[in-house]
């Protein structure tokens, strides 16, 4: 009764003041209309970022902060006198995952923006911009950077526009702007109970991409429950090697294992249903080869070949054996050789059990499991060969039986850690489709968050998979090109690979300079970055010729100090490092060999006593290390490598990158 009485009082109060409110509203409308008339010809322009009116009058924009894709909003904008260009700039055109669509037309989201960097004194030609459907939105004279926005719809794709901008005279670089937002959180019903995604940085990774349906994850398992809404729409080319048919009854999951694994990898996200998978928008290929805890070897091997031959980009294998099979190894090598990434669980044998096959096969990404505290799960197998770990205890995912399915919170096993990495791989391939299996494995290992003992170990491998960092590295590879390093360049793979890992970088003009010499200080930084050596600003180098240090310089002294601490360099003479001298090929080889012997001695082999190298060098300091480098093929592929290859010649940036890259591939 009290609430009802208050409502009556409020109604009466509103009734009393209603005529006054109406009068005030009419007066306000009149004033707004008058202001609109006064400002109609003042030359005001609309900012492509905030859509607020700038210029004389500083009128407020009715669309500021109200981004909408409704027809009513467009009609209202037209009524306000907006031109098509204003509409495009104000309303933008972005698709659901935050990436720009392939043309700039009206839709919800934010503005498509391109940025270019100009050489000193250069201005963009207006005709060139008009031919690309662009106009200048803002100039940042501090760095000669210009922001450009679309003014009409074009048939060119955004990457083609970027390429065209890059080719204009005086343009140092060009790129497509990326939206800035908080980490993306899906609205799925059970997502708040999923502890795994935030621990490995998936919300931040989803800001980059939630997947591309053209990327296919093959889950080799017990099939999937086809009635699960989170999975039904993304299934492609399902098959049962156990029954040799694609009929749905054959690949229908009756154990729940395959459904749980598949959902972690690829359940649809942000759809208000169930849970969110690691890669929301990719395609799922269920390949059924078992109905229980064990499987027939023939069905399993056939599943690998089926997945490769029917378009899989990623293969997830949560089954394994402690015994190696040649047939399995050759099937896995066939997959890797076909460009298919293979991700497998290390096994549930616990500490000391060793990594099971196929995870133990070189080139396969081997995945262990941790709990929500990032501690190794008690069941996770340990031993040499573990690459990374991922959430694998008390995992929320789907479960299923012969006539039911549902969400389960307590799934345990490296089986459920592996699809986190498979899903991440699919996300990486969505933004960088040309990544090779070796590159994917390298990025995932290099970007992992170290756990346990410092550096790679037999418990956690390289650490907890870091989706955010891995996606950033993949995107960097996709975007990274140097104008003087074409695809066919001898050292292109090495240069692009190291650049993606942040070990090396190009120049401000977009070139790399593969034929330029390397300074000794430069190489100290490169070797520390390549091997992820801990570098601290407090480290002091034992050389008196370094001069005053500048922490903001490209080559601060701590890299030289770290290299000296690890015995990688001893200088050119007692107390002297000669940082600004060109480093010779022989010095590079010696420092490389010393570095790997210091941090990863098992990854390099010592040559037999009777091994004779190709390079002739009698120096007592560099001769033995040159033999080690040759025996381990670190010099293979270098331009001119052979008996006439001069070890005392200055090392060039391209060949140094190639030697570093070969070392990292071991």
94, β-bridge pairs: 100
- Catalytic site residue 257? yes
Backbone angles phi, psi at 321, to 5 degrees: -145, 150
| Annotated catalytic residue within 188, 207, 221, 565 | 221
Query: What does the angle CA 383 – CA 325 – CA 316 come to, to the nearest 5 degrees?
Result: 65
- Cα(159)–Cα(174) distance, integer angstroms: 10
Distances (CA, A) of 429 to 255, 434, 470, 619, 626: 30, 7, 11, 47, 38
CB 137 within 8 A of CB 50: no
**Dihedral angle computed from the Cα positions of residues 388, 392, 396 and 400, in that order, rounded to the nearest 10 degrees:** 110
Distances (CA, A) of 493 to 32, 271, 453, 480, 636: 61, 39, 32, 11, 14
Q: What is the DSSP string of 264-277?
A: HHH---SSSSS---
| Annotated catalytic residue within 86, 257, 288, 557 | 257
- Catalytic site residue 288? no
Token representation of residue 222: 């017990």
The number of C-alpha atoms within 13 Å of 281 and in the hemisphere containing its C-beta is 18
- Cα(121)–Cα(532) distance, integer angstroms: 40
- Cα(372)–Cα(574) distance, integer angstroms: 51
| Annotated catalytic residue within 222, 283, 415, 422 | 415
- Cα(295)–Cα(303) distance, integer angstroms: 11
CB 664 within 8 A of CB 530: yes
Q: How much of the chain is helix, strand and coil, in % rounded to 5?
A: 35, 15, 50
- Catalytic site residue 221? yes
Q: Any long-range contacts for 244-247 (C-beta under 8 Å, 24+ apart)? A: none
- Exposed/middle/buried for 122, CB within 10 Å: 0-12, 13-18, 19+? middle
Residue 519: DSSP 8-state:
B
Residue 542: DSSP 8-state:
S
Q: Which residues contact 612 (CB under 8 A, 6 or more apart)?
A: none
Burial per residue of 179-208, b for 16 or more beta-carbon CB atoms within 10 angstroms, e otherwise: beeeebbbebeebeebebbebbbbbbbbbb
Token representation of residue 7: 């409502």
Find the farthest-apart pair of alpha carbons in the chain and give their distance in angstroms, rounded: 107
The count of residues in the chain is: 666
Cis preceding-peptide flag for 358 (omega within 30 of 0): yes
- Cα(580)–Cα(545) distance, integer angstroms: 10
| Catalytic machinery residues | 221, 257, 415
């Amino acid at each position: 009764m009290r609430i009802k009485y208050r409502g009556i009082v409020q109604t009466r109060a509103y009734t009393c003041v209603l005529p006054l409110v109406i009068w005030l509203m009419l007066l306000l409308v009149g004033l707004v209309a008058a202001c609109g008339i006064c400002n109609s010809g003042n030359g005001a322009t609309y900012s492509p970022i905030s859509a607020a009116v700038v210029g004389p009058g500083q009128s407020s924009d009715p669309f500021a902060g109200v981004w909408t894709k409704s027809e009513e909003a467009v009609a209202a904008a037209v009524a306000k006198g907006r031109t098509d260009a204003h509409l495009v700039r104000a309303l933008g055109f972005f698709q659901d995952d935050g990436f720009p669509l392939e043309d700039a037309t009206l839709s919800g989201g934010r503005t498509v923006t391109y940025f270019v960097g100009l050489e000193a004194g250069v201005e963009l030609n207006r005709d060139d911009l008009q031919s690309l459907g662009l106009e200048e939105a803002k100039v940042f004279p501090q760095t000669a950077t210009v922001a450009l926005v679309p003014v009409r719809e074009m048939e060119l794709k955004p990457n083609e526009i970027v390429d065209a901008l890059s080719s204009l005279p005086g343009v140092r670089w060009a790129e497509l702007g990326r939206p800035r937002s908080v980490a993306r959180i899906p609205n799925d019903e059970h997502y708040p109970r999923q502890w795994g995604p935030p621990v490995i940085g998936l919300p931040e990774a989803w800001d980059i991409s939630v997947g591309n349906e053209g990327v296919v994850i093959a889950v080799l398992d017990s099939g999937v429950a086809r009635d699960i809404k989170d999975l039904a729409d993304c299934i492609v080319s399902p098959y049962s090697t156990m029954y040799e048919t694609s009929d749905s009854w054959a690949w229908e999951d009756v154990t729940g294992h395959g459904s749980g694994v598949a959902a972690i990898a690829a359940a649809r996200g942000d759809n208000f249903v169930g849970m969110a998978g690691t890669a929301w928008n990719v395609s799922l290929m269920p390949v059924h080869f078992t109905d229980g805890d064990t499987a027939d070897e023939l069905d399993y091997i056939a599943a690998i070949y089926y997945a490769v031959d029917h378009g899989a980009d990623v293969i997830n294998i949560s089954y394994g054996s402690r015994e190696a099979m040649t047939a399995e190894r050759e099937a896995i090598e066939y997959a890797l050789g076909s460009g298919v990434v293979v991700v497998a669980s290390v096994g549930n044998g616990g500490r000391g059990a060793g990594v099971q096959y196929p995870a133990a096969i070189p080139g396969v990404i081997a995945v262990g499991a941790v709990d929500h505290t990032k501690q190794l799960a008690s069941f996770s197998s340990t031993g040499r060969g573990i690459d990374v770990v991922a959430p694998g205890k008390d995992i929320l995912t789907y479960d299923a039986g012969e006539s039911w399915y549902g969400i389960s919170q307590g799934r345990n096993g490296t089986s459920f850690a592996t699809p986190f990495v498979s899903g991440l791989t699919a996300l990486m391939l969505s933004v960088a489709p040309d990544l090779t299996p070796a590159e994917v494995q390298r990025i995932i290992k290099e970007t992992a968050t170290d756990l346990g003992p410092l550096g790679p170990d037999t418990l956690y491998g390289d650490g907890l998979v870091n989706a955010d960092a891995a996606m950033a590295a993949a995107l960097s590879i996709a975007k990274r090109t140097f104008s003087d390093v074409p695809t066919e360049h001898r050292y292109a793979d090495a240069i692009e690979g190291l650049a993606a890992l942040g070990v090396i970088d190009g120049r401000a003009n977009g070139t790399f300079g593969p034929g330029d010499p390397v300074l000794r200080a430069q190489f100290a930084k490169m070797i520390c970055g390549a091997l992820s050596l801990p570098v601290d600003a407090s480290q002091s180098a034992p050389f008196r010729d370094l001069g005053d240090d500048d922490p903001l310089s490209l080559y601060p002294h701590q890299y030289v100090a770290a290299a000296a601490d690890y015995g990688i360099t001893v200088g050119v003479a007692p107390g002297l490092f000669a940082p600004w001298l060109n480093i010779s090929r022989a010095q590079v080889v010696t420092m490389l060999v010393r570095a790997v012997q210091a941090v990863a001695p098992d990854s390099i082999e010592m040559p037999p006593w009777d091994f004779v190298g190709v390079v002739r060098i009698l120096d007592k300091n560099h001769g033995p290390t040159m033999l080690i480098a040759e025996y381990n093929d670190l010099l293979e592929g270098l331009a001119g490598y052979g008996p006439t290859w001069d070890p005392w010649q200055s090392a060039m940036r391209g060949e140094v990158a190639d030697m570093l890259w070969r070392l990292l591939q071991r």
